Amino acid sequence: MGIDFAIDELYASGWTAADPTTCQQHQDGRPYPCVESVRDSFKDAGFELSVRHIQLFDCYRAEWRETSGGASGAVVGQTEDEAAVYALSQLRRLQVSHAGSLPSAT
């Protein structure tokens, strides 16, 4: 996948760098959130994010759970940053799809 793809997906979800001080900068100049900032975003949405190295496959797995403990989703990446950024893009897409499926008030 690569960090480029993860950042592309994050930007495609409508993400913008509201606070550049919590961001890292990609070699092409685009800011992207640091892992702690991603964790904070998950926490604000009611989830707990964990990112861990899977030594057997030499990759990182980002997994998020509801605060009640139920697993909600997971992604993998080659680096911790990549997995976290891609996970945030998936969370944002999920939030948009759920918002679009809610009945409108009349």
> pLDDT tens, 14-42?
999 888 788 999 999 999 999 999 999 99
Instruction: Domain count for the chain, please give it.
Output: 1
Q: What 3-state class would DSSP assign to 79?
A: coil
Quick one: CA dihedral 38, 39, 40, 46, positive or negative?
positive
**Domain around 49:** 3-98
In a domain, 25, yes or no: yes
- Tell me what pLDDT residue 23 has: 93
> pLDDT tens, 43-72?
999 999 999 999 999 999 999 999 888 889
Residues 47 and 91 sit within 8 Å (Cβ to Cβ): yes
In a domain, 21, yes or no: yes
Structure tokens at 41: 């975003």
In a domain, 94, yes or no: yes
Confidence of residue 12 (pLDDT cuts 50, 70, 90): very high
Burial of 18-34, coded b for 16+ CB within 10 Å and e otherwise, reads eeeeeeeeeeeeebbbb
Phi first, then psi, for residue 41 (nearest 5°) are -65, -40
- Measured CA to CA, the distance from residue 53 to residue 58 in angstroms comes to 7
CATH assignment at residue 11: 3.30.2120
Whole-angstrom distance between the N-terminal and C-terminal Cα of the chain? 43
Confidence of residue 100 (pLDDT cuts 50, 70, 90): low
Q: What 3-state class would DSSP assign to 46?
A: coil
